[in-house]
Every structure is written in C-alpha cells, then in structure tokens.
Amino acid sequence: MVDSAIRKIIHVDMDAFFASVEQRDDPSLRGRPVAVGHGASRGVVAAASYEARKFGVKSALPSVTALRRCPELIFVPPRFEVYKDVSRQIHEVFARYTDLIQPLSLDEAYLDVTANKSGIETAWRTAKAIRKAILDETGLTASAGISYNKFLAKLASDHRKPNGQFAVTPDMGEAWVETLPVSRFHGVGPVTAEKMKRLGIETGAHLRAKSLGFLQQNFGSSAEWYFAIARGVDDRPVNPNRVRKSCGSETTFDRDLTEPGEIEAGILRMADDVWRWCEARETFGRTVTVKIKYGDFQQITRSRSQPSVIVTQENLQRCAIDLVRTVLPPIKGIRLVGVTVSNFGEAPAADLAAGVELPIFGESEAA
C-alpha cells in the first residue's frame, strides 16, 4: 500500500507558449510554422510553434538557420507584456487548486496538491481540471506531469506533449527512470550528457549502475544528485517562496559593433530594461554584471558589487557603463551585450525615499 504521506506533485507546462499566444490572437497564423523573434540576419528564435518544430526550428536557433530549415517560417515580434498577462491568468487558475505553487518561468510551474484544496479525488483528475480551466479561460493548451516528486513530475509533463498528461506512480518510478536517456534529466545539460556518453552512461539504467564514488570522481558536487535521480529520488519540496536570484536583459545587434558609442547605447537599453523590473517589484541588488559576446561567439563577463543595493536608475546605468568601458575599444566586433543585477537585498527606506546615490563600486570581480 502506498504511504499516504507521499507527495502529490503536478508539473504544468504550457505548449509552445509564446507561439501559441500569437496563433491564438492572429487566426491567420494557426496551423502554420511560426517563430517568435526577429527574422533579421542577427536575429534569434525565442520560441517556435509545433508546426515549426517539425522542421527542427527551436528556441535559441539563429534566425537565418531557422529560415534555411523552414523557408515558410513566419516571424512574429515578441510581445512580452501580453505573455506576462496570460501567465497571470494561468497562475490564478493554479491558485484555485493549491497554495503551494513554485513558478519556474512564465509558462511552467510545480504544484503540490497533496492537501487537496479543491476536493478532487485524485491528482490525475486535478491535473485534468487545471488543464481544462486554462483552455477555457485562455484558449491555450497545457501539458502536465503527475508524480510523487518534482524530478519525475517534470519528466512526465514532457511525455505526452502537446495537450496531454502522464503520471509516474510510486510503484513505477525507479523502473521508468531506467528506460530514459540521461539527456532528458533535469540537471544534465548537453555538455554533461556528452561526458556521460563517453563514460558509457546513456540511460538511467547506466547511471544507476555507477557507484557514488565513481560519480563523485567524475562529476564532483553533482554526484549525489545524479545518484539520487537514477533511483527516482528527489526530496525537494515545492517552494512557493523561492527567491529569484537575479534579473537580466540582453540583446543581439543586427551587425557586429566596434564603435564604443553604439555599444554603450546598447548597454544603457539593457540596464533600463532591468531597472523597470527592479522598480516594479521593489527588488534591488548590489551586484551588476555586464555580458559581452563577440562576433566569433567568445563570451566574457565583467561584474562588480557595491556596499549597498542600487536604488536609482542612474546608478545602475553608471555601473553598467563603467563595466563595459573596461573592454572598450573592443578587440573585435561585439554581437551581443547584456546587463544583470543580482545579490538582492533590503534597501533602506530613507534611501528609497530620497533616491540616494550610493558610493561607486566596492569589491569587484571579472571573469
């Protein structure tokens, strides 16, 4: 008999979220290959419809490559404010079924429905009710994974996409994990998956066969995680109070830039994007990081921290500009810049009220 204390966790993942919103709002796009992003030579795909995915178009793919794979591809500029509004609708649906919601992004979240707030008999039926409510109220489809831990629920949500759901029960979890490729596991990125392949680890069964000592020798601090998930074990709770650690914005230029004034202008736009997020949430950080990607895809970052959090837009701009100037004039053309704020903390009320300018940088680091 299954222990009644076992968690009931649902991972809800919207189907091709950005692209589906665009197809919903523009009927002429329905059934056609759509990419959210910009089709310019330096553009990048932010999201792709399922019709486009059949051609190998996916997020982060350069636009020119996407068009080569799918000449009929339709590019639609992103409307992030619309996506945020729809995401708020979806989270209002979640809140009817549980108080334990851990958002991962605009289009996915973990829900712990163990307490059965809605009075629905099973987690399976709860997931169906959530998906139906989302469809009825937003016109969009969602997929869901149901299991006794977060790792398995996330894997399961991808198993019947799009517009489906799949459950991994306690009596099948370990055996099911053994059948899957490790490249699907959360925490195993492409580089790690390739390393595992070289070590003869391609499936969950291969991973489970390795000792903890072997994994520690080859994967260091990640070894215990890999050892646990190979056995279907994940004790992490759904944490509705998970604190966001950073906020960033980046842009890819239409051409490689070498003129300092143009590069600084791009940095200022990204700093302003980040400031709007910080100001709207009254969330302020001490550390500013500037990201630079050259035309040959070499990437560097420059970071500095202040003694106190940054509470004015002007100070954030000045921090970002000072950082980018450490690499100007550039040794080669720059294709992308980004700005991130992290190391969040409390801002003194008096500083917020006065919009006080803080002393420029304290400790610093560069990578």
**Could you give the residue numbers annotated as active site?**
108
| CA–CA distance, 98 with 115 (Å, rounded to integer) | 8
Tell which residue, 77, 101, 60, has the closest CA to residue 21.
77
Per the CB < 8 A criterion, the answer to whether 362 and 291 are in contact is no
What is the enclosing helix (H) or strand (E) of 267?
helix 260-281
Per the CB < 8 A criterion, the answer to whether 47 and 36 are in contact is yes
Per the CB < 8 A criterion, the answer to whether 115 and 98 are in contact is yes
Q: What is the CA radius of gyration of the chain?
A: 23
| CA–CA distance, 63 with 70 (Å, rounded to integer) | 10
Tell me, what DSSP letter sits at residue 184? G
> In a 10 Å sphere around its CB, with 0-12 CB exposed, 13-18 middle and 19+ buried, how is residue 210 labelled?
buried
DSSP-assigned beta bridge partners for residue 292: 300, 337
Per the CB < 8 A criterion, the answer to whether 311 and 356 are in contact is yes
Angle at 224 (CA atoms; ends 246, 219), nearest 5 degrees: 80
DSSP-assigned beta bridge partners for residue 337: 251, 292
